[in-house]
Amino acid sequence: MPLMVVHHPLAQHYLTHLRDETTKPALFRTLTRKLTILLAIEATRELRLTTHAIRTPLMSINSPVLDDDLVVVPILRAGLGMVDAITELFPEVSVGYIGMERDEATAVASSYYRKLPDVTGRTVLLVDPMLATGGSAARALEDLYGQDPLRVQLICVVAAPEGVARLEADFPSLNIFTAALDEGLNDRKYIVPGLGDFGDRLYGTF
C-alpha cells in the first residue's frame, strides 16, 4: 500500500476549503491542523501495541497501550503547519526538522537545515503538505532511511502523480498518505488544481 488517499468526507470537506483561494491564513492554519489529524490517524493504524495492567472501577484487566517510538519530521517551512496536530495526538513524539528550499527556476530542492533525533528502529512521520516533483521528499527520505528507521510514513495534503511515481520507484517501502491525488504538474512544477503555495497561504506571505 504505497499510496493511500483518505476519502473520509470530513477530510474532503477540509480540503475543499484549503483549495479555496478566498480562505484566509487564520482559517487555513486551522483547517491544516484538522486535516492533518485525519491523515495522521490513517498513517498510524499499524502502530504496535502492548498490554498494560490497570484496574477499572470494577476489576483488573490487561489493556492495550501504544508501544511504538514515534518521530515526526516536517519539511520546512510548510510542514510546520502539520506538526501541532501530530504532537497533540502523540504528546511523547520526538520532533526533527529538515529545511528545503526550491529553486523557482529549476524546481530543484536544496537543503539548508537538518536537525534530527536518532530514528533508528523508530516509526517516522515525514510531513510535507505538497508532494509535487518529489524532489524535497526524496532528499529528506535519503537522510531518514540512512538511519535505519523501522518505517517511514509520508503525510501530505495533496500529491501529484509525478511525485508519487518517483517516490514509489526510489523508496518502495514508503507509504504515502494524502487527501488527494491531483491531476499533475504545470510548466512551473506546481500541482494542479492544487491550492497554491502552501507556505505563503499558511503564513500570509503573499
Query: What would the pLDDT profile of 66-82 be if each residue is shown by its tens digit?
Result: 998 999 999 988 999 99
What mean pLDDT do residues 191-197 have?
94
Average pLDDT, the chain: 92
What ranges make up the beta strands (E) of the chain? 3-5, 49-55, 60-66, 70-76, 94-95, 97-102, 109-115, 123-127, 130-131, 151-159, 175-181, 184-185, 191-192
- Kindly calculate the radius of gyration of the chain based on its CA atoms and give it in whole angstroms: 18
Catalytic (active-site) positions: 102, 106, 197, 200
Please name the helix (run of DSSP H) or strand (run of DSSP E) that holds residue 137, with its range, or none.
helix 135-145
How far apart CA 77 and CA 134 sit, in angstroms, is 16
Residues in the chain: 206
- CB atoms under 10 Å from CB of 62, counted, come to 10
Q: Does residue 50 have a pLDDT over 80?
A: yes
What is d(CA 171, CA 122) in angstroms, rounded to the nearest whole number? 17
